[in-house]
């Protein structure tokens, strides 16, 4: 079990903490890009060739946002698969014994639901671009995994959006829980995942 010099509590290993914060940072960029690009593509008012106002702006910026969202989403999926492989083989430090079992149970439920969505949401995104044949990423054509079907694409993206919103809700709950542990309950749960410079394994 990895322990830090300063605290006599079991903490996540350096690898687990790296995975956690990289995925957290990428998700913090990915979700706003997703909402903003869809706003630009569907809602933002631009002008057509005749100078008339139209909904939806498909310029280089919108295109770059879509390409970035796809590339980043695939990167997140790969990182989460590696992270899950690591988690399932290496386990996690035992739970903070000062936290009541019911609370620990809820936190585990939230963590595993987040993992599930971190896999399902990007796979849904890839399925959606495959059905819709929206496979271009900065001029590179990704391989499609299903035959073209625009109706299916639309349906899959409904679930993609719903999944992303549930993920956002769970992450908000998760961050709220971290604030609760740190400032209200004043236990050491958050220290388990904080980046530290020196580790003693
Ligand atoms: C964890 C990873 C991902 C998250 C959190 C995420 C999140 C989102 C969000 C919040 C939206 C906006 C939803 C809306 O307002 O309709 C969106 C849309 C979209 N996402 Fe993702 N996404 C992820 C991965 C991917 C991947 C891997 C792809 C494809 C390779 C992808 C393709 C798309 C596309 C094409 C849209 C636009 C759908 C539409 O126009 O209705 N996403 N995503
Ligand atoms: C300010 C932001 C965040 C803080 C302060 C934070 C804090 C923490 C802490 C302290 C733990 C360890 C809990 C324990 O000891 O049982 C943890 C675990 C976890 N966090 Fe976060 N987190 C943040 C953002 C995120 C985000 C954005 C995601 C998802 C994209 C995420 C996903 C997870 C998962 C899946 C675990 C479980 C780890 C495992 O046992 O495998 N966290 N987080």
Ligand 1 neighbourhood includes 164 CB (under 6 angstroms): yes
How far apart CA 121 and CA 163 sit, in angstroms, is 6
> Under CATH, which number does the domain 14-189 receive?
1.20.950.20
Report the pLDDT averaged over residues 182-198: 86
* Cβ-contact 167, 117 below 8 angstroms: yes
Task: From residue 153, give the alpha-carbon distance in Å to each of 31, 53, 130, 146.
Answer: 19, 28, 8, 10
Ligand 1 atom at minimum distance from 134 CA: 35
Which band of pLDDT confidence, cut at 50, 70 and 90, is reported for residue 10? Answer: confident
Nearest listed ligand to the Cα of residue 174: 2
Taking 50 as the threshold, does the pLDDT of residue 5 lie above it? no
Question: Which tens digit of pLDDT belongs to each residue from 93-125?
Answer: 999 888 999 999 999 999 999 999 999 999 999
Mutate to test the pocket of ligand 1, among 55, 62, 125 (most ligand atoms within 8 A of CB): 125
Nearest listed ligand to the Cα of residue 41: 1
What does the mean pLDDT of the chain come to? Answer: 93
* 129 CA from centroid of ligand 1 (Å): 9
Pick the closest to residue 115 from 75, 86, 81 (CA basis).
81
* 134 CA from centroid of ligand 1 (Å): 12
DSSP codes joined into one string, the chain: --B-SS--SB---HHHHHHHHHHHHHHHHHHHHHHHHHHHHHTSEEE-TTS-EEE---SHHHHHHHHHHHHHHHHHHHHHHHHHHHHHHH--PPPPTTS-HHHHHHHHHHHHHHHHHHHHHHHHHHHHHHHHT--EETTEEPPPSS---HHHHHHHHHHHHHHHHHHHHHHHHHHHHHHIIIIII--STGGGTS--S--B-
Ligand 1 neighbourhood includes 129 CB (under 6 angstroms): yes
* 64 CA from centroid of ligand 2 (Å): 30
Radius of gyration of the chain (CA): 20
How far apart CA 181 and CA 189 sit, in angstroms, is 6
Calculate the CA 84 to chain-centre distance: 13
* 165 CA from centroid of ligand 2 (Å): 17
Question: Which tens digit of pLDDT belongs to each residue from 134-163?
Answer: 999 999 999 999 999 999 999 999 999 999
pLDDT of residue 70: 98
Pick the closest to residue 11 from 197, 194, 198 (CA basis).
194
């Amino acid at each position: 079990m990895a322990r830090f010099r300063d605290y006599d509590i079991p903490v996540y290993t350096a690898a687990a903490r790296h995975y956690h914060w990289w995925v957290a940072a990428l998700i913090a960029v990915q979700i706003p890009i997703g909402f903003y690009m869809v706003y630009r593509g569907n809602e933002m008012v631009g002008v057509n060739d005749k100078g008339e106002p139209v909904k939806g702006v498909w310029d280089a910026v919108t295109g770059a946002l879509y390409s970035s969202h796809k590339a980043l989403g695939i990167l997140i999926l790969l990182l989460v698969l590696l992270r899950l492989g690591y988690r399932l083989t290496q386990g996690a430090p035992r739970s903070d014994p000062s936290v009541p079992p019911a609370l620990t149970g809820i936190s585990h439920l939230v963590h595993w639901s987040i993992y599930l969505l971190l896999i399902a949401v990007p796979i849904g995104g890839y399925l959606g671009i495959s059905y819709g044949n929206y496979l271009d990423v900065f001029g590179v054509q990704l391989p499609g995994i299903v035959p073209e079907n625009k109706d299916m694409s639309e349906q899959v993206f409904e679930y993609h959006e719903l999944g992303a919103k549930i993920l956002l809700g769970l992450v908000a709950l998760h961050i709220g829980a971290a604030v609760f542990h740190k400032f209200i309950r004043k236990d050491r749960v958050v220290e388990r995942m904080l980046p530290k410079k020196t580790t003693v394994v």
